[in-house]
Each structure stands twice: as structure tokens, then as C-alpha cells.
Amino acid sequence: MGEGIKLPVLNGLGRTNRIDNWLNQPLAMGVALTAAMLYTAWRLFLYPDSIYYELEGSKVMSPIFSPNVLEWELFGLKDWNHPSWVNAAILVLWIPFGFRGTCYYMRRVYYRTFFASPTACWVDEPEINKKIGYKGEKRIFILNNLHRYFLYAAMIIIVIKWWDVTHTLHFTEGWGVSVGTFVMGIEAFLLTMYVTSCHALRHLAGGALDRWTTGISRLRGKVFGKISVFNRSHGFWFWTSLGFVFLGDLWVLAVSEGHLSDVALFVI
Amino acid sequence: MMSLKGKMQDFKILRGEGDEAGLKDFSIELDEGMVVLDCVHRIQHEQQPDMAVRWNCKAGKCGSCSAEINGRPRLMCMTRMSDVVAETPEGKPIEIRPMKAFPHVKDLVTDVSWNYEVAQRIKPINGPEEMNWEFNQMEADRVQQFRECIECFLCVNTCHVLRDHALFDDFAGPRNLVRLAQYEMHPLDIEDRVPEIKKEFGIEYCNITRCCTEVCPAGIQITDDAIIQLKERVVDRYYDPLQRIWRTITRQKVRY
């Protein structure tokens, strides 16, 4: 470090020379994430009912409880005499939780909102952060390096999600589309975009290489280029896909409890 | 938009050195089309001939005139007064301070030599002996972005690892991580810098809060394209058991 002394600086939580409304964004994001977690907890542990509805033979699942692994013949899950508190979401949600929790975009959000590390750029951190000693993504946050493994699992979930969408198309009288198809379809699309724009996928697809000259490596370079385009809006896909999980769940809840009713838009 | 011509504008600018340094009040008449650096020059010309300020190209290409304007680090030559006047509450002065993360020299000048010292520790590109280097456009585009860096060090000044936690001995800072990405991803380079990126240059200290990208006047995607890409290479090497097994089976020797 060069000679000279540091300027007197503003120290302490939220001390800054900024004059704009820097608190708005982290506050809004913190409230949104907290609401999402509380709602999920309520749905998982306190009210795991009305998780799907049937319409003329088609079946629309709530996004939170899709895929409903407890209906699977695989591993004998269907016949499993499970404890009453176990439901499909409890068995599966650790995957999207892990994927989102280790996501490079999500990390920006929660370091800012929940850890004030820092709350916003050029805003000082609370004294306790400095007392504990900053270690970045070491200590507990070293687990964020597992992101690619959650990615593999999330990719499997996405395929099953699309499979669940096809269940909304199959009516007793033939193939058709209902509002539920759009609810599940849009949710599956947004999640697919969120996973496709992932930083780890981008790296594994082609970013790990320095040369994209011949054959497979050239193809991987092209895939890297395509993913990079979606990757720019990773945050957008994060929030829209997250929001739609809850919108979709509210829709399924409302229909299956008779507050709203779904209709088959057309059947062929 | 309101015309700025003839408007009297108040400023608070950090003056002095050492313990004497403090904000001083100035007032000047504005002209149309001014940038912040023009105002600093006008104050220097009309009132304070000994005020120290670094500047050079006045075109956002030399990276000399970094400062914190209203608490937000920016290049003074690329910051329009129309924008700054609009963001400052009516009747309040515009505040200009030097970069906070670096040792202060005088007035708006700081000592950024630490960045050059770190840069010297990075292994340069090691490519083929014969200088007929050829690679395709796709490969070139990827590293070309990193060459846009003008070394204004606004990203380093912004990074909370250095700004708030002062980990200058353990962390290379965003600018030099961009340099590492530029070398490491070069299509013809054969040098391996991954162990240094993890240990010596401390990439794990970065918690991707993306302030460096937010502040970059050259528009480099520092976080997404440089730091996260390097972090993923560190994961490949140190934190991915499947890749480790694969390397053992295929007898690939790498440094740890």
C-alpha cells in the first residue's frame, strides 16, 4: 500500500455520502424474499391442502407441490405409508431452495438485504460485520460452490415440470387447454429460462474452455454465447419465476377451494 | 430541460491534506453543457489555483479523474452537470470527494499505486514463441471486453472488501481480477493461474454484490464475465469432486 493516510470516513450501519434513495431496492427485495419464505412455510407445514384440482379429467398441480412425487410408482413412493407431515413439497423443495440459495444472482440479493454486506454500494456496513471479521465466501458460504450440483438436480425437476404441464392438456374427451395449462406452462417456461441463464451452466457449457476452434469445442463456444445472452437477465428470470410459483399456487388454491373456477378453453 | 446557463451553483469540495483535509464551500456560475470536471477547473482557474486534481483526456478514456460526486464514485469528465444538478436537492451544494478507499495525497488526488503493485505479481500471457498468433473472432471477443478497462479504479474504490474491510493484502480487487480473467481466458495462453487466483489473489473474498459492475464507466461486465467465470474455474479445481475423480482417471496433472 502506498504512503499517505486514509481520509476520515463514515463508519457504521447505513452511513454514507449518497443522497439518493439507496435503501428502496434492498428493502423491497428483503420484504419480497421474506414474504416468499413465510408463504412457503405456511403452505408446507400449516396448510398443505388443496394442492391440485381436476377439470374434466385433466389435472392442474400447484407449482409448489409439483412434481408430486408421492404419486409416483417409482421407489414405491405411492404406497409409502409416510408420516402425516410429509408432503411432496417437503421432499422436493430442497432442490429449488438449494439452487436459488446458491444462485449467483440470489447471493447478491441476500448479502445485501439480510447480511448488510453491504446493504447498497458505498454504504458502510454495521460494526458487527467488522467485528466478526469479513471472510467473503469462505466459512459457511463455501457451500455456495455446490451451485452446479443443485443445477443438475434442478434440470431434472424442470423436465418433470413440463411433464406435469402435459397432464393439464389431457381431458376425458380429448386434448385441450385450460387456464391451468397457462398457469403451469408459464411457470415451467420461466423456470426453464431461469435455469438456462444460470452462470454455472454457462461455465459448464463452454466457459471452462479457452479455445472454441474445432468440432465439439466450437459448438460449446456457440452455446456459451447463447447462454450469455440470457445470462444478462438472470435476475429478471429469478424474480419472475419466483413470483409465478406463488401466483400459480394461489390460483390452484382458489380454484380447488371453489373461489374461482377454471374452464377448458377448447378441446379437440 | 431547464437551462443551466447563468445558474449559480454551490459546491463542497474536499481540500487540504492529512488531518487538515475537509470540505470547503465554493460557488460558481454554470454554463450550458458543462461536466463536473469543467466546474472543478473553473473553481481552480478563478478561485483556487493550487487545488490538486488529476485529469487528462476529458473523454472517459484515461481514467484519471475518478472522484465521489454526491457520494457516488464517477469519472468527473463523463458526469454531466445537468444530471448532477437534477439529482441534488434544490439549494443544496454538490459534494465532491476523492476516492475513499485509497490513501489520500491532497485535495482530490489519491494514491492508487497499490493496484500497480498487485498487477506486477500476475503472471503475464505465455503463448507460442512465434508471433503469428491466430484465433477466431468468438475467442477474441471474449477477452476483448476486458481490454476496455481504463484503470480508473472506481471498481476498486467501490468494492466493500477493500473499502470497508481494507483487505488489501489478501484480495486483488476487481480491476486485477479482470486482468486475471483477460490472461487466463486468452485462447493461446498456456499459463495456469487458478491456484494463485484462489490463494494469493483471494477471489473467494468477493461476495458478488456487483457494485464494481454498477460503477464501471467502460461498461465491462466485471462480475458476470470476469469474476464469476474465474470463480467457476476455482470450483472446477477445488470444490467439484466429480471433476477431481475425472482428472484422476484421465491422469491430468494440475496444480492445487
The kind and range of the H/E element at A112 are helix A104-113
The kind and range of the H/E element at A89 are helix A88-92
Residue A37's CB is within 10 A of a number of other CB atoms, namely 11
Q: How confident is the model at residue A2 (pLDDT cuts 50, 70, 90)?
A: very low
B34/B66 Cα distance (integer angstroms): 17
Q: Is cis: bond before A63, omega within 30 of 0?
A: no
Residue A252's CB is within 10 A of a number of other CB atoms, namely 26
Residue pLDDT, tens place only, B111-122 = 999 999 999 999
Residues of A in contact with B232 (CB under 8 A): 199-200, 203-204, 207-208
Backbone torsions φ then ψ of A241, nearest 5 degrees = -70, -35
Where does chain A show beta strands of DSSP type E?
A: 52-55, 58-61, 170-171, 174-178, 264-267
Residues of B in contact with A237 (CB under 8 A): none
Q: Where are the alpha helices (DSSP H) in B16-102?
A: 36-46, 81-87
Residue A88: all three cell numbers together: 411432496
A234/A207 Cα distance (integer angstroms): 16
Residue A141: all three cell numbers together: 458460504
Residue A252: all three cell numbers together: 390452484
Residue pLDDT, tens place only, B24-59 = 999 999 999 999 999 999 999 999 999 999 999 999
Residue A136: all three cell numbers together: 467473503
Buried b (16+ CB within 10 A) or exposed e, A165-174: bebbbebeee
Q: Give chain B's count of helices (H) and strands (E).
A: 11, 7
**Residue entry with cell 466546474:** B39
Residue pLDDT, tens place only, B156-198 = 999 999 998 889 999 999 999 999 999 999 999 999 999 999 9
Q: Which of B208, B215, B229 to mutate to test the interface with A (most CBs of A within 10 A)?
A: B208
Residue A266: all three cell numbers together: 377448447
Closest CA relative to residue A180, chosen from A266, A68, A263 = A263
Interchain proximity A17–B111, CB inside 8 Å: no
Residue B92's CB is within 10 A of a number of other CB atoms, namely 11
Name the residue facing A213 among B113, B136, B235 (closest C-beta). B136
DSSP category for residue B146: G
The kind and range of the H/E element at B158 are helix B154-158
Q: How confident is the model at residue A265 (pLDDT cuts 50, 70, 90)?
A: confident
Q: How confident is the model at residue A7 (pLDDT cuts 50, 70, 90)?
A: low
The whole-angstrom distance between B57's CA and the closest CA on chain A is 25
Residue A193 predicted with pLDDT over 80: yes
Name the residue facing A1 among B114, B207, B229 (closest C-beta). B114
Residue A241's CB is within 10 A of a number of other CB atoms, namely 22
A204/A198 Cα distance (integer angstroms): 10
Q: How confident is the model at residue A4 (pLDDT cuts 50, 70, 90)?
A: low
Residue A5 predicted with pLDDT over 70: no
pLDDT of residue A208: 93
Interchain proximity A136–B136, CB inside 8 Å: no
Closest CA relative to residue B93, chosen from B172, B21, B9, B8 = B9
The kind and range of the H/E element at B246 are helix B241-249
- 8 Å CB contact between B186 and B126: no
Name the residue facing B71 among A17, A142, A208 (closest C-beta). A17
Q: How confident is the model at residue A210 (pLDDT cuts 50, 70, 90)?
A: very high
Residue A76 predicted with pLDDT over 90: no
Residue B159: all three cell numbers together: 468494492
At B105 the three-state DSSP class reads strand
At A58 the three-state DSSP class reads strand
**Maximum C-alpha span of chain B:** 75
The whole-angstrom distance between A64's CA and the closest CA on chain B is 29
pLDDT of residue A9: 60
Closest CA relative to residue A174, chosen from A238, A266, A38, A39 = A266
Residues of B in contact with A225 (CB under 8 A): 138
Q: How far is C-alpha B189 from the chain's CA centre?
A: 25
The whole-angstrom distance between A147's CA and the closest CA on chain B is 10
B176/B201 Cα distance (integer angstroms): 9
Q: What is the DSSP track for A193-214? A: HHHHT-HHHHIIIIIT-S---S
A247/A63 Cα distance (integer angstroms): 9
**Maximum C-alpha span of chain A:** 82
The whole-angstrom distance between B148's CA and the closest CA on chain A is 19
Angle among Cα B175, B176, B180 to the nearest 5 degrees reads: 125
Give the pTM: 0.91
B1/B7 Cα distance (integer angstroms): 14
Percent of chain A at pLDDT exceeding 90? 51
Q: How far is C-alpha A169 from the chain's CA centre?
A: 25
Residue B112's CB is within 10 A of a number of other CB atoms, namely 23
A200/A215 Cα distance (integer angstroms): 22
